[in-house]
Amino acid sequence: MAKSYYDPADLRKFGEITEWSEELGKKFFDYYGKVFEEGALSAREKSLIALAVSHVVKCPYCIDAYTQDGLQRGITKEEMMEAVHAGAAIEGGASLVHGVQMMNKYKKLSM
């Protein structure tokens, strides 16, 4: 067993999940591939969304993969950082908006 939970080399092995469940693995990768094709959104736009989400879900594999994908697509580092902020802002907002719940509860409990 590896001594750490995340090994960069494991990203390359992602496709191997199919070996233990071919049907589901294949369905997932077909879906995944389709999602990132050019559509109503460009592949470039989707790459930036993926980068933002990678940060929100804090997946080191995804962050590596979509930083590289962005570089390949000619996405600038300013664009990448703005995408990360967009993700972080939503994540921060999602925490903060619960402040309303706290306020509601506080008020309800207080005399």
Partner 1 sequence: MPISIIAEFAFMTQKSLHARKDDLSNPVKQLEFLSNGLFAEGELPTFKQKVSQTENTPLKPKKLEILQINLGYMCNQTCSHCHVDAGPDRKEIMTVETMKDCLKAIKQTGAHTLDLTGGAPEMNPNFRWFVKEASKVGIKDIIVRSNLTIIVANKKYHDLPQFFKEHNVHVVSSLPFYKREKTDKQRGKGVFDSSIRALKMLNEVGYGKENSDLKLDLVYNPSGAFLPTDQEAMERDFKEALKEDFNIEFNNLFAITNLPISRFLEFLIASENYEDYMHALVDAYNPAAVKNVMCRNTLSISWDGYLYDCDFNQMLELKVASKVQHISDYNENELQNRNIIISQHCYGCTAGAGSSCQGSVA
Q: How far is the CB of 111 from partner 1 (least distance, A)?
A: 56
Of the pair 77, 98, the CB lying nearest partner 1 is at: 77
The structure tokens listed for 67 are: 């930083």
Of the pair 12, 27, the CB lying nearest partner 1 is at: 12
The span from the CA of 40 to the CA of 57, in Å, is 25
Of the pair 56, 65, the CB lying nearest partner 1 is at: 65
Contact present, 36 and 42 (Cβ < 8 Å) = no
Contact present, 84 and 52 (Cβ < 8 Å) = yes
Q: How far is the CB of 78 from partner 1 (least distance, A)?
A: 10
The span from the CA of 76 to the CA of 79, in Å, is 5
* SS3 assignment, position 58: coil
The structure tokens listed for 40 are: 């109503």
Positions that interact with partner 1 (CB under 8 A)? 8, 12, 43-44, 67-68, 71-74, 76-77
